[in-house]
């Protein structure tokens, strides 16, 4: 494992931690969980999380990357582009060019960089059509990682996340257990020894929903989560409007997580 003294997390809702609620009404998420793991093993460790829900890739690059460079952390995790790929007609090739510029800037600042592929959407209704765009984007990210010597967390290959219990009710954000498993996977990529296995099988479901019940759930999900998301996009609004980063400074994390 790297001897880490500082870590900055960049991204959107995935890295902010939705939907992994904390007792105070904020979100925990895989990045906070990872920081707690590192802090328990590394004296003097400090952590900042600049991620904000709803951010597009260019916004992350413009608003968060310069702050991360100024903080000069040893480690940066960088995940972005998922919200862009949800927009009809988005171009994964153009997105990858923006992503690479940001990675080059972070590496030039001396940061170790961990990047993330996109999730495999094959088991999510309405998002299944995005699968080919995500796959193209992922191919670019692997190439970027190779060129700039970045570590990669391959979310696409994490079949354990295909279980619906890994996702919150909106099916767009991980559940608390999904975040916990991603944190363990990132720890593994960093070489951090942990006692738990991110790939441990899920316990059997007590009752499997029949086809008709599942279709009713799908329609309810589309009405309550997908339609409002589309409406926000048409109005040019974001879930992150008016929200500040939950942890904008490098601070110790002792006692957290």
* 238-251 pLDDT tens trace: 676 789 999 999 99
**257 in any annotated domain:** no
User: How far apart (Å, rounded) are the C-alpha atoms in residues 183 and 66?
Assistant: 25
User: Domain span at residue 163?
Assistant: 6-252
CA 161 to chain centroid, in Å, comes to 13
Is 169 a member of any domain? yes
- Please check whether residue 60 lies inside any domain of the structure: yes
pLDDT band at 257 (very low <50, low <70, confident <90, very high): very low
Considering the domain boundaries, does residue 84 fall inside one? yes
Mean pLDDT confidence for 214-237: 69
Q: What pLDDT is recorded for position 215?
A: 67
pLDDT score at 255? 57
State the CATH number of the domain containing residue 87: 3.40.50.1110
User: Domains in the chain: how many in total?
Assistant: 1
Tell me if 204 is assigned to some domain: yes
Peptide bond into 204 cis (omega under 30): no
Q: 0.85 cut: is pTM over it?
A: yes
Q: What is the pLDDT of residues 58-81, one digit of tens each?
A: 999 999 999 999 999 999 999 999
110-116: average pLDDT = 98
**How high does pLDDT run on average in the chain?**
90
- Annotate 113-170 with DSSP letters as a single string: EEEEPPPP-TTSTTTGGGHHHHHHHHHHHHHHHHHHT-EEE-GGG-GGGGSGGGB-TT
Q: What is the pLDDT of residues 150-164, one digit of tens each?
A: 999 999 999 999 998
What is the band of 46 on the pLDDT scale with cuts at 50, 70, 90? very high
Residue 1 lies inside a defined structural domain of this protein: no
């Amino acid at each position: 494992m790297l001897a880490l003294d500082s870590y900055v997390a960049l991204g959107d809702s995935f890295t902010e931690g939705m939907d992994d609620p904390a007792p105070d009404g904020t979100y925990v998420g895989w990045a906070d969980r990872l920081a707690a793991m590192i802090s328990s093993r590394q004296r003097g460790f400090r952590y900042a999380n600049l991620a904000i829900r709803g951010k597009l890739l260019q916004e992350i690059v413009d608003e968060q990357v310069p702050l991360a460079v100024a903080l000069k952390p040893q480690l940066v995790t960088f995940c972005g582009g998922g919200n862009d790929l949800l927009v009809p007609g988005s171009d994964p090739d153009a997105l990858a060019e923006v992503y690479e510029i940001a990675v080059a800037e972070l590496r030039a600042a001396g940061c170790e960089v961990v990047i993330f592929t996109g999730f495999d959407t094959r088991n999510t209704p309405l998002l299944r059509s995005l699968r080919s765009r995500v796959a193209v984007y992922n191919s670019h990210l692997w190439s970027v990682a190779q060129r700039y010597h970045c570590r990669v967390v391959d979310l696409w290959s994490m079949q354990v996340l295909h279980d619906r219990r890994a996702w919150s009710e909106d099916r767009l954000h991980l559940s608390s257990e999904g975040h916990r498993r991603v944190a363990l996977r990132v720890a593994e990529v960093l070489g951090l020894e942990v006692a738990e296995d991110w790939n441990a099988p899920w316990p059997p479901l007590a009752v499997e929903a029949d086809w008709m019940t599942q279709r009713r759930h799908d329609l309810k999900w589309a009405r309550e989560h997908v339609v409002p998301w589309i409406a926000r996009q048409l109005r040019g609004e974001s879930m992150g409007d008016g929200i500040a980063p939950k942890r904008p400074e490098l601070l110790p994390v002792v006692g957290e997580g």
